[in-house]
Amino acid sequence: MTILNVYRSKSALVYTLIFIKRHLITFRKFRQLYTEFWFPSPSRPPYNHICQIGDPVLRYKAEELNAEDIKKNEIQGVRKRISALTVSFGYRDVTEKIYEEFSPEIRKSREMAIIPFKVFINPELKITNYEKVCFPEACESVRGFSADVPRYREVLVTGLSAEGKPVSWQVSGWAARIVQHEMDHLSGRLYTDIMVRSTFTCTCWDKVNRTGGRIYVPFSPK
Ligand code: CO
């Protein structure tokens, strides 16, 4: 190999590296543009998706609605969302799905039952049994995790229906837990604020081990 050839091959290598570098940058830019196109930068609440822990919106205290607000279509639409502003409810199909995941023994110990669709506007909570029970709890806004959370056994929730009429619901067990969980959302609180910290669990930790850590931890466990 002549000196000239060495020089040529070296410069070819340098040019190749420059070419790759240039195109990598271009690729990065392309990826950025592509991402921005599909996920335009920050949208503002109210969102149609369920926000995740850390989002300041989850710490806002919900404001009360007046009679005029209740009539607005916007509020009627909100009924279809989970944990929405001043509306708190159990979703029959959601609770039915969760209910079926548990054994009869667990259902019994946690006083679980399928909860009918309920709407409470400007809800208020009264504790009717100060006994506390501690069971695992999860939240759509803390996806992929769960923890034991102490809750009052029985509560009374009062408020207005979607039509603006006074309604009340005396609940115990699992339903009481859900009511307290949803009422906490309206005050900007999450279960992580009151959970038994040592029980905070990634719901797919066993899959992490089974795959030797080569797993994409999902946004949702299922
Ligand atoms: Co929640």
| pLDDT, tens digit, 9 for 90 and up, residues 62-87 | 888 777 777 665 555 555 444 444 45
| Amino acid present at 121 | I
Whole-number Å distance, alpha carbon 185 to ligand 1 midpoint, is: 7
Which residues, in sequence order, are bridge partners of residue 126?
Answer: 156
CA dihedral 74, 79, 85, 89 (to 10 degrees): 170
Catalytic residue among 64, 111, 131, 182: 182
Tell me the CA–centroid distance for residue 8 and ligand 1, in Å: 65
Is 163 catalytic? The answer is no
CA 131/CA 152 separation, integer angstroms? 6
d(CA 167, ligand 1 centre) in Å: 22
What pLDDT shows up at residue 84? 42
pLDDT value at residue 131: 96
Instruction: Select from 189, 187, 171 the least CA-distant residue to 179.
Output: 171
pLDDT recorded at residue 214 = 86
Structure tokens at 185: 């959302």
- Give the residue among 151, 132, 143 at the shortest CA–CA distance from 194: 151
Ligand 1: distance of its center to the CA of 128 in Å?
A: 22
Contact between residue 95 and residue 114 where contact means Cβ atoms under 8 Å apart: yes
Containing 186, the helix (H) or strand (E) segment is helix 174-186
CATH number of the domain at 56-133+149-188, out of 3.40.50.2000, 3.40.50.1860, 2.40.10.330, 3.90.45.10? 3.90.45.10
Residues of the chain with pLDDT under 70: 1-9, 25, 40-42, 71-94, 217-222
Distance CA 183, CA 104 (A): 28
DSSP 8-state code for residue 44: -
Which is it for strands 166-172 and 121-137: parallel, antiparallel or unpaired?
A: unpaired
CA of 58 to the centre of ligand 1 (A): 10
Distance CA(189)–CA(182), nearest Å, equals: 9
Q: Pull the structure tokens for residue 119.
A: 């709407």
